[in-house]
Structure 1
Amino acid sequence: MYFIGIDLGTSAVKIILIEEKGNVIGSTSKEYPVYYPQPGWSEQNPEDWWNATKDGIRELIIKTGVKNGDIKGIGLSGQMHGLVLLDENNNVLMPAILWNDQRTQEECDYITQTLGKERLTKYTGNKALTGFTAPKILWVKKHRTDIYKKIHRILLPKDYIRFKLTGEYATDVSDASGTLLFDVENRKWSKEMLDALEIPYNWMPKCYESTEVTGYVTKEAADLTGLKEGTIVVGGGGDQASGAVGTGTVKSGIVSVALGTSGVVFASQDKYVVDEENRLHSFCHANGKWHVMGVMLSAAACLKWWIDNIINFNGSSITYEKLLEEAEKVTPGSGGLIFLPYLMGERTPHSDPYARGSFIGLNMTHKREHMTRAILEGVAFGLRDSLEIIKELNIPVNEVRVSGGGAKSVLWRQVLADIFGVRVDMVNATEGPAFGAAIMSAVGYGIFKDVEEACSTLIKVTDSVYPIGENVSKYNEIYQIYRGLYKALKDRFGEIASIN
């Protein structure tokens, strides 16, 4: 028996095929563009997602030679918070507004002023942030009234793929948690939020637990993908909850760090926990429990920006490996150079769409390698901001499991271990959210009784990096400087953002 995991990322969809013992039989990835029509805006065409997904599934089935009848289930994972709008004929009404889009600060202010911080926390466990789905809906209502009048259904990105596969309007509790329209504690849509924002309840998809069956592959989708009609599709999860399942972060004491385009520090909880200051998100987990997480909007994306836009801007072809090899020779602290990783604004802990990336401390002795290492360190310091809040909530941190593209770098893992002051592990499952999605489909089919059993059976630690004492001490000193820089520059960031 085989299971498919689909992870609809920001830059590409990744699709994997596993057998019931967790071995990955094959994988494929299909890219699609992101559009930035105005500064701070970020959009994609949902049809690009579907075209990439259906082609990727067909290619994977052909490449592996697996009979479609032996594929027993499909799990979905994907970028969270995005807004997909459908009309009564199920046509997409406008480009999807993505998780990292920053256009909705006025709508966030309106939501906060209308409901108040205490009611928001009571109803949703979170505060209004520009990345979330609810303020995007209000933005469309205010700025695209022609579109708003035609809305028949609202879906999240991965759930558009579900709709194309099954014809069902459905989502799961972990992804729904990031809409600001969900009662996270009670795991259902918040009638209070929908009523307060005048969003019709019937626009929202039916919500399921992550391992529940949400629908079955239709004949039309089967013809397009090569799947067998009737194959189950389970709820799945938002990319962070799915990624946590994919690394086995389903028990208290284990913290996962996703070092991808964005950066996430994620801690599983058996009970519902809320940070009273709302610096962390409190969401439903894909294992039937809850989790808290802090999110950086730019993590590995900072290194990609450095290489693509600066280093290789004029046609050079210097590789990541070369730059990281140079950076490894630089001592911790990058010669007094600090990088603030706010290239797309920031979410945790500052929640500031106007925050901007910065190199601070530059002098004539600094070279390319110092700047590269400073980026690695700056991202790790930003992730530590979330880790410190998790510790404040008395959530145990015994082990950190790191995943994502940035985790491939041994140097970056060592920097994380030194800045966090804790062991950083890699696990045998390297496919991240796609693997977590596949696990959930196996649970939904009945191979395992629950997510915890599946993870304990399939996922093992394969490599560990331990903190180096002298580096830990030095980074602790630098971190105190780092965390003061945002406060010193906050007002200037707002002024800079107003410059056209």
Structure 2
Amino acid sequence: MGYLLGIDIGTSATKTILFDTETKKIKASASSEYPLYQPYIGWAEQDPDDWWRATVSSIQEVLKKGLIHPQDVLGIGLSGQMHGMVLLDKDGNVLRPAIIWCDQRTEEECKDITSIIGREKLISITANPALTNFTATKILWVKRHQPEIFERIHKVLLPKDFIRFKLTGEFASEVSDASGTQLLDVPNRTWSRYVLDKLDIPFDWMPKVYESHEVSGCVTEKVANLTGLNVGTPVVGGAGDQAAGAVGNGIVESGMVSSTIGTSGVVFAYTDKVSIDPKGRVHTFCHAMPDTWHVMGVTQGAGLSLQWFRNNFGSLEKELATFLKKDPYELMTEEAQKADAGCNGLIYLPYLMGERTPHLDPSAKGVFFGISAKHTRNDMIRSIMEGVAYSLRDCLEIIQDMGTEVDIIRASGGGARSSLWRQIQSDIFNRPLSTIDIGEGPALGVALLAGVGTGVYKDVPEACKAAINTKDTIYPIEYNTPIYDRYYEVYRSLYFALKDNYRAIADIEKDLKK
């Protein structure tokens, strides 16, 4: 008997699971939340020590719930939000709050990177254009605006790799997460000395890069005493949250695609070759298996949009949910079900944190379009769910246009727990949408990678076949699909109609900060 630990350092919480290799089931799980700080519009930061405290408490909780001996944990896998920047000094201390994936402050640094390297050259090496989300732009922002911190940098780590450092004392990363830094040679799966040199970022600031299943370090005695883990427990490379979630969803073969609604929304497709969109609308990153890659489109404010509505306008649902011992999102979904498909012409643009696919515009803003006196709260909630699905359709259509096979679409993330949101996606995509029997996503994915790295499984496909089965499939409602097709065309046009106004607002905000 043996167990695998999967730890996912998300944007809102860290989740840890204990996977039983014998029963192929989750024996225990735990999560711990932490805040996101936004000192200015478009900024997004977190305290890395909050991630560590959440990791420790969730490990302690799953070991307690699981009632297992520490030596029965065979290996640990790490997943985490991509693109973040954790800066450490020579003593391993955090120099400033982490600038995370959805931060939009680095538009000028994107221009600098493109000017220094050249857009085509940059895409040929990193497989992506310069984006505000990526780690490289954040490093250059610190250099420009906080030179006293820049001078003290010893290592640059991604969020999950900071947790690896705390667990093992090792400075290490792996190819899938490193792909999102804009500093990795994605076709060759190694740090690009060319890009680093051009940007004057020292090569020795970067951690060693592993393949996702490789052992990158072992739990230290100090951490064993703190968490209850066994000294020397192997920690594998793991994966960025999207690649990890894809493994946890079985997206490890051609033709398989996932549609994930978490804080962000992602359409993710497996490929066994480097496939790059020359327009830079979707991302190409290394997958969590050797010699494979993935193409993905991203909408910044997917689940974040519904969370924003709940936090700011959902006090009634939150109070009633406490009384009924239900999740507020369940009550919001019940309200949304009372609205008609298309919400009587109310269309939501989910650009609360700018947008990536297909617009690459950090200045984009969220919009409720077409609102009238006849619209109700039910319409507004459903329009948020539909707007996110329209954005995911943007991603899916680009991936198909690139020649990527789309045979099976699997829903995952917190949004997949809503049968209504799954149905909306199926209707808008006009395709069947499946879910699997284990809904733990990234945490399960990296637990399975730990199983490969410690010899429980031969390779990642074998691990997925052993652990993952399709649970149910939703099919498009014939009446709804043509309605959504017509509204989708309006949705697509709205960004271009508002683009200049987004820029005007951004300029006003910039002037007011001076």
Q: Which residue of 2 aligns with 1:300?
A: 303
**Is 2:469 aligned against 1:485?**
no
Q: Which residue of 1 aligns with 2:150?
A: 148
Q: CA deviation at 1:326?
A: 2.2
Q: CA deviation at 1:398?
A: 1.4
Which stretch of structure 1 is more off in the superposition, 305-314 or 356-365? 305-314
CA offsets, 1:222-269, max 9 Å, x none? 111111101100000000000000000111111101111100000000
Q: Is this contact kept in 2: 1:86–1:153, CA < 8 A?
A: yes
Q: Which residue of 2 aligns with 1:16?
A: 17
Q: CA deviation at 1:325?
A: 1.5
Select the residue among 73, 76, 81 that pairs with 1:74: 76
Select the residue among 170, 194, 197 that pairs with 2:196: 194
**Counterparts of 2:288 and 2:77, CA distance in 1:** 12
Select the residue among 280, 283, 287 that pairs with 1:281: 283
Q: Which residue of 2 aligns with 1:344?
A: 353
Q: Which residue of 1 aligns with 2:418?
A: 409
The runs of 5 or more residues in structure 2 that have no matched partner are 322-327, 510-514
**Counterparts of 2:380 and 2:50, CA distance in 1:** 36
**Is 2:376 aligned against 1:375?**
no
Paired letter, 1:148:
F
CA offsets, 1:86-116, max 9 Å, x none? 1011111000100001110000011111211
Paired letter, 1:15:
T
- State how 1:254-403 maps to structure 2 within 5 Å: 254-288=256-290, 289-312=292-315, 317=320, 319-403=328-412
Q: CA deviation at 1:279?
A: 0.6
Q: Which residue of 2 aligns with 1:46?
A: 48
CA offsets, 1:400-431, max 9 Å, x none? 11111111111110000000011101101211
Which stretch of structure 1 is more off in the superposition, 12-21 or 55-64? 55-64
Paired letter, 2:8:
D
Q: Is this contact kept in 2: 1:168–1:215, CA < 8 A?
A: yes
Paired letter, 2:387:
G
Select the residue among 182, 185, 191 that pairs with 2:184: 182
CA offsets, 1:157-182, max 9 Å, x none? 00011001111000000000000000
Q: CA deviation at 1:6?
A: 0.2
**Counterparts of 1:91 and 1:317, CA distance in 2:** 43
Secondary structure of 1:499's counterpart equals: helix
* Percent of residue pairs identical: 54
Q: CA deviation at 1:316?
A: 5.3
Q: What's the RMSD between the two structures over aligned residues?
A: 1.2
Q: CA deviation at 1:123?
A: 1.3
Select the residue among 214, 217, 226 that pairs with 1:215: 217
**Counterparts of 2:414 and 2:481, CA distance in 1:** 24
Q: CA deviation at 1:471?
A: 1.4
Q: CA deviation at 1:468?
A: 1.6
**Counterparts of 1:153 and 1:323, CA distance in 2:** 44
Q: CA deviation at 1:315?
A: 7.9
- The TM-score normalised by the length of structure 2 is 0.96
**Counterparts of 2:339 and 2:263, CA distance in 1:** 24
**Counterparts of 1:175 and 1:128, CA distance in 2:** 16
**Counterparts of 2:174 and 2:331, CA distance in 1:** 42
Q: CA deviation at 1:62?
A: 1.8
The runs of 5 or more residues in structure 1 that have no matched partner are none
User: When the two structures are aligned, how many residues end up with a matched partner?
Assistant: 500
Which stretch of structure 1 is more off in the superposition, 464-473 or 166-175? 464-473
Paired letter, 2:314:
I
Q: Is this contact kept in 1: 2:30–2:62, CA < 8 A?
A: yes
Q: Which residue of 1 aligns with 2:432?
A: 423
CA gap of 1:65–1:314, structure 2 versus 1, over 3 A, is closer
Select the residue among 451, 458, 461 that pairs with 1:449: 458
- The TM-score normalised by the length of structure 1 is 0.98
- State how 1:81-96 maps to structure 2 within 5 Å: 81-96=83-98
Paired letter, 1:180:
Q
Which stretch of structure 1 is more off in the superposition, 88-97 or 318-327? 318-327
Q: Is this contact kept in 1: 2:317–2:331, CA < 8 A?
A: no
Paired letter, 1:436:
G
Q: Is this contact kept in 1: 2:317–2:332, CA < 8 A?
A: no
Secondary structure of 1:426's counterpart equals: strand
CA offsets, 1:379-398, max 9 Å, x none? 00000000000110111111
Q: CA deviation at 1:458?
A: 1.2
Q: CA deviation at 1:314?
A: 11
Secondary structure of 2:435's counterpart equals: strand
**Counterparts of 1:351 and 1:205, CA distance in 2:** 28
Q: Which residue of 2 aligns with 1:470?
A: 479
Q: Is this contact kept in 2: 1:287–1:452, CA < 8 A?
A: no
Secondary structure of 1:498's counterpart equals: helix
**Counterparts of 1:498 and 1:107, CA distance in 2:** 17
Q: Which residue of 2 aligns with 1:203?
A: 205
Secondary structure of 1:339's counterpart equals: strand
**Counterparts of 1:83 and 1:311, CA distance in 2:** 32
CA gap of 1:314–1:225, structure 2 versus 1, over 3 A, is closer
Deviation >3 Å, runs of 4+: 313-318
**Counterparts of 1:370 and 1:205, CA distance in 2:** 48
